[in-house]
């Protein structure tokens, strides 16, 4: 095993935090540079015509790779060192066989879904999901002959199991198949948890030749606090724009899973051209070195704020992963090791009171994203979820007094001072 792919030291398995500093990068291939250079190039020069032929045979699936053979560098839409090193490092956190990176979270989601389902097949998803994902599912996939249905994340595990079994049976009765079960957990912005292990059991119980793939968007808690592949998911997806990028300065996505499913997604990425550029991949490599520090600190800040917000007279409720009911607590205990740092509050009053608080905030910035070093606040009902019908908002409990907070790594007492002065207005 070459040194840059070492995952153990003697009998000791190295931790992801340690592997983020160098795993997958061989300085000897880059003049000894301790950091990965940016391979800002569109194409790569073959040493010989025979090399070009061999590389394309593997890239186009004309032959299997030899056991120790690496795919030679061809063209940056197909492969590039920055993307490959980033993919090696990302797969460490989720203990995945293979990872692929994309130009955005939505590129990861849409490319994966296109690879996994065909006209005449079905997709079932847990709602609410990220707005762009719901748009893809509800408006774009039906135009391509894919039938999409949803099950409310707050309907509970039994409802989820039944929805999976029913969708699969109905699809088979029509001569089709349920191709994908898609779960986003915790759900945005209510932090409702979906039981990943129960969903994995339900997809495996589906009769028929090819069971559905279980796909989990792990943007909110991953990769530190939730590991869907270890709970039976086939694919884990990320908006790397959020915690992994972590500085609100790039847009990217990722997906991870086993070799067979990833080969299908890799083929689709090459043809759709949804990979990131080398510079973005390099920024992500840098971000990964501090990922655990940022996620641990922002979570500690969030925990302090949550305990104080729960006592605040201006706050009706705090919506935290695993906090809603006994069933939710049990799911959280089984599948998560932390609450992350994105949660919501219901302030006393309605939209006017929520807006008064948002407009008074000085440190929390008013913006729709999450997972950055700086704290953000948003009003889901009038922004990210404004295209929901009144009925859908009521079903998903997205009320007008709901404010979503993404807590960063600032001094927590400064953040509390900001929230306290804003909440004092209502
Ligand atoms: C849970 C979740 N998934 C996917 C996405 C889409 O990611 P991107 O904006 O990187 O395309 C987002 C964006 O907010 C998100 O919150």
Tokens found for residue 183 = 């779960």
- What one-character-per-residue DSSP string does 363-406 give? SSEE-S--SSSS-EEE-GGGTTTTTS-HHHHHHTT--TTEEEEE
> What distance in angstroms lies between residue 385's CA and the mean position of ligand 1's atoms?
13
Query: What percent of the chain shows pLDDT beyond 70?
Result: 100
Q: For residue 78, give the 3-state DSSP assignment.
A: coil
**What are residue 345's DSSP bridge partners?**
318, 403
81-285 to CATH, choices 3.40.640.10, 1.25.40.10, 3.30.360.10, 1.10.4100.10: 3.40.640.10
CA distance 128 to 395: 9
Alpha helices in 312-360, H assignment, sequence order: 326-335, 351-360
- Whether 70 has a pLDDT exceeding 90, the answer reads no
Query: What percent of the chain shows pLDDT beyond 90?
Result: 90
Mean pLDDT across 295-323: 97
Please enumerate in sequence order all residues whose Cβ is within 8 A of that of 367, keeping only pairs 6 or more positions apart, or say none. Answer: 376, 377, 378
Q: Which residue has the higher pLDDT, 305 or 61?
A: 305
Which residues sit with their C-beta closer than 6 Å to ligand 1? 104-106, 130, 132, 184, 188, 217, 219, 239, 241, 251, 253
- Whether 306 has a pLDDT exceeding 80, the answer reads yes
Please enumerate in sequence order all residues whose Cβ is within 8 A of that of 307, keeping only pairs 6 or more positions apart, or say none. Answer: none
- Nearest CA to 130 out of 389, 363, 375, 370 is that of 370
Q: Which residue has the higher pLDDT, 389 or 356?
A: 356
- Nearest CA to 300 out of 223, 408, 193 is that of 408
CA distance 111 to 274: 7
Q: Give the H or E element holding residue 215.
A: strand 213-217
Q: CA–CA distance from 196 to each of 161, 256, 327 (Å)?
A: 11, 16, 13
β-pairing, 235-239 with 8-9?
unpaired
| pLDDT (0 to 100) of residue 169 | 95
The beta strands (E) that lie in 37-188 are given as 98-102, 122-127, 147-152, 178-184
Q: What is the DSSP letter of 180?
A: E
Specify the residue with its C-alpha closest to ligand 1, atom 16. 130
> Measured from the CA of 188, which atom of ligand 1 is nearest?
1
> What distance in angstroms lies between residue 372's CA and the mean position of ligand 1's atoms?
13
CATH 3.30.360.10, domain 289-423, yes or no: no
Instruction: Provide the residue ranges of all domains of the chain, joining segments of one domain with +.
Output: 42-74, 81-285, 289-423
Rounded to two decimals, what is the model's pTM?
0.96
pLDDT tens by residue, 79-130: 999 999 999 999 999 999 999 999 999 999 999 999 999 999 999 999 999 9
> What distance in angstroms lies between residue 369's CA and the mean position of ligand 1's atoms?
8
Q: What is the DSSP letter of 137?
A: I
Q: CA–CA distance from 216 to each of 183, 230, 371 (Å)?
A: 5, 12, 18
């Amino acid at each position: 095993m070459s040194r840059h792919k070492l995952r153990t030291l003697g009998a000791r398995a190295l931790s992801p935090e340690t592997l983020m500093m160098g795993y997958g990068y061989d300085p000897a291939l880059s003049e000894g540079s301790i950091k990965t250079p940016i391979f800002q190039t569109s194409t790569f020069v073959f040493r010989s015509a025979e090399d070009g032929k061999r590389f394309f045979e593997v890239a186009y699936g004309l032959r299997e790779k030899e056991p120790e053979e690496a795919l030679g560098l061809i063209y940056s839409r197909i492969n590039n060192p920055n993307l490959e090193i980033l993919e090696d490092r990302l797969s460490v956190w989720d203990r995945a066989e293979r990872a692929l990176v994309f130009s955005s979270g939505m590129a990861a989601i849409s490319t994966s879904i296109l690879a996994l389902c065909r006209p005449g097949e079905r997709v079932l998803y847990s709602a609410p999901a990220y707005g762009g994902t719901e748009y893809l599912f509800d408006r774009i996939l039906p135009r391509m002959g894919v039938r999409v249905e949803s099950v409310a994340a707050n309907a509970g595990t039994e409802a989820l199991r039944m929805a999976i079994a029913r969708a699969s049976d109905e699809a088979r009765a029509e001569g089709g198949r349920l191709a994908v079960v898609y779960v986003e957990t915790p759900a945005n912005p209510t932090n409702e948890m979906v039981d990943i292990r129960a969903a994995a059991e339900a997809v495996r119980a589906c009769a028929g030749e090819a069971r559905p793939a279980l796909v989990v968007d792990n943007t909110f808690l991953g990769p530190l606090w939730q590991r869907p592949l270890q709970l039976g998911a086939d694919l884990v997806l990320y908006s790397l724009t959020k915690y992994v990028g972590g500085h609100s300065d790039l847009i990217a996505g990722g997906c991870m899973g086993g070799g067979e499913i990833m080969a299908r997604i890799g083929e689709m990425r090459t043809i759709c051209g949804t990979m990131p550029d080398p510079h973005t991949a390099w920024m992500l490599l840098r971000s990964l070195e501090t990922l655990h520090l940022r996620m641990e600190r922002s979570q500690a800040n969030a925990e302090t704020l949550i305990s104080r917000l729960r006592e605040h007279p201006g706050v009706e409720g705090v919506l935290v992963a695993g906090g809603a009911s006994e069933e939710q607590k049990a799911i959280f205990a089984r599948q998560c090791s932390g609450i992350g740092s994105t949660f919501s509050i219901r302030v006393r009053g309605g939209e006017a009171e929520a807006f008064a608080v948002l407009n008074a905030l000085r440190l929390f910035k008013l913006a729709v994203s999450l997972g950055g070093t700086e704290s953000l606040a948003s009003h889901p009902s009038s922004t990210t979820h404004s295209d929901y019908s009144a009925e859908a908002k009521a079903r998903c409990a997205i009320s007008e007094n709901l404010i979503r907070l993404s807590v960063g790594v600032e001094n927590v007492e400064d953040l509390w001072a900001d929230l306290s002065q804003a909440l004092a207005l209502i």
